[in-house]
Amino acid sequence: MSSFQASPFAKHLLRSQMRARAEREQSDSAARTSPFQVHWLDNIHPALHPEALAVEAAGEAPLHPAVGALNSSQAFALNLGLPFAEGRREALDAFISSQLGRDVQVEGVSFEYYGTGDYLAELAGPRPVVTDDPKKREHWTQVDIVFHLTAASGLSGLLLVEVKLTEGGFTQCGGRASPRNRDRTPCESAEAFLNDPGRCYLKRPRHASRDRRYWTIFPRAHGTLRAAFPGSDLSGPCPFAGHWQQPMRNHALALAACQAGDADFWGLALLHHDGNPDVVGPWDSYRAASADKEHIYRWPASTFLPALDATFPLIDPGIGQWLEQRYQLGLRLP
């Protein structure tokens, strides 16, 4: 699914959100309404507005151009993560502990996380260059939410959470079709790629000043790239040419943080709209192929609702209930 072509589920949810907005604001679900909020904060639960503004002002979560859209994935991620920056975390601690199989506490929350900027060697400097000029634009891996954890044993951990709302899949590899890619054999043959990942165009694509580290991070953890992904289909193209590209980079980011000594353990989770049928298959197949499958999770957003409602127990309606209604988490394609 092209990033510029809305999936059937995306269209279905947006239409439903617009009808619900018209009903809330005009008491008529058939009334005309916009798919964009007047102000992006209208996409955020009112109790979270101060924290959302603080995060924006600090530059901790650069706003996407479409953050005001009713189906903004970034707004969805902020609503899911911001409550735990200020509210109670006991329920979240219990949920994450049950999923990871170890007792942990959440010590902090970050958004648009890319680590030190050096983990994957994707950036020219210590911080990303944010610009509208495509000739100067950098492309780097970042994860929507990161929970900073401390285990009962005293070890520190990172839980990287990729959030998907109406996306029709995951970011795919741009190098496969790049006119500057002069050796596409690794793109077309998983066997050739896994035998010699150094031939991959992504190792040093256009404008890169140094080799990216994806294909050294996984061997450092598992001996070889092939051993890191024992479930890969060797008869097809590069396993990371399609929808596995983004999970792979998120996975590499988590491993690299531990290899750099910035965490003792890691987890990687997909947190998605319950009704989105397009992200489940790629994520689950990636997990199944990975040697690290026990550290990779997938959580429908509804599993977070009890913890969200416990963050600010005196708010009515609770944040979880508000999210369930606003994003129609029970919605499925007809």
Q: Could you tell me how far CA 306 lies from the centroid of its own chain?
A: 21
Q: What is the pLDDT of residue 3?
A: 47
DSSP state, residue 69: B
Return the closest-CA partner of residue 61 out of 37, 44, 47, 36: 44
Rounded to an integer, the average pLDDT of 25-29 is: 97
Domain ranges of the chain: 89-172+242-314
- Among 168-172, 191-195, 206-210, 238-242, whose mean pLDDT is lowest? 206-210
Tell me if residue 94 falls in helix, strand or coil. helix
Length of the chain measured in residues? 334
Token pair listed for 112: 């648009």
pLDDT in tens, 92-117: 999 999 999 999 999 999 999 998 87
In the CATH hierarchy, which fold is given to the domain comprising 89-172+242-314?
A: type ii restriction endonuclease, domain 2 (3.40.1560)
Return the closest-CA partner of residue 171 out of 162, 159, 184: 162
DSSP element (H, E) containing 103: none
Average pLDDT of the chain is: 92
Q: What is the pLDDT of residue 1?
A: 40
DSSP element (H, E) containing 159: strand 156-164
Token pair listed for 202: 């992504």
Token pair listed for 100: 């990871």
Rounded to an integer, the average pLDDT of 276-285 is: 97
Position of tokens 């070890």?
Answer: 155
- What pLDDT band is residue 126 in, cutting at 50, 70 and 90? low
The CA distances from residue 298 to 114, 183, 267, in Å, are: 20, 35, 11
Neighbours of 37 (CB within 10 A): 17
DSSP state, residue 65: T
Given a cut of 90, whether residue 2 has pLDDT beyond it is no
Q: What is the pLDDT of residue 116?
A: 81
Rounded to an integer, the average pLDDT of 193-198 is: 94
DSSP state, residue 235: T
- What pLDDT band is residue 60 in, cutting at 50, 70 and 90? confident
Rounded to an integer, the average pLDDT of 188-215 is: 90
Token pair listed for 216: 């050294």
Angle at 124 between CA 54 and CA 164, to 5 degrees: 50
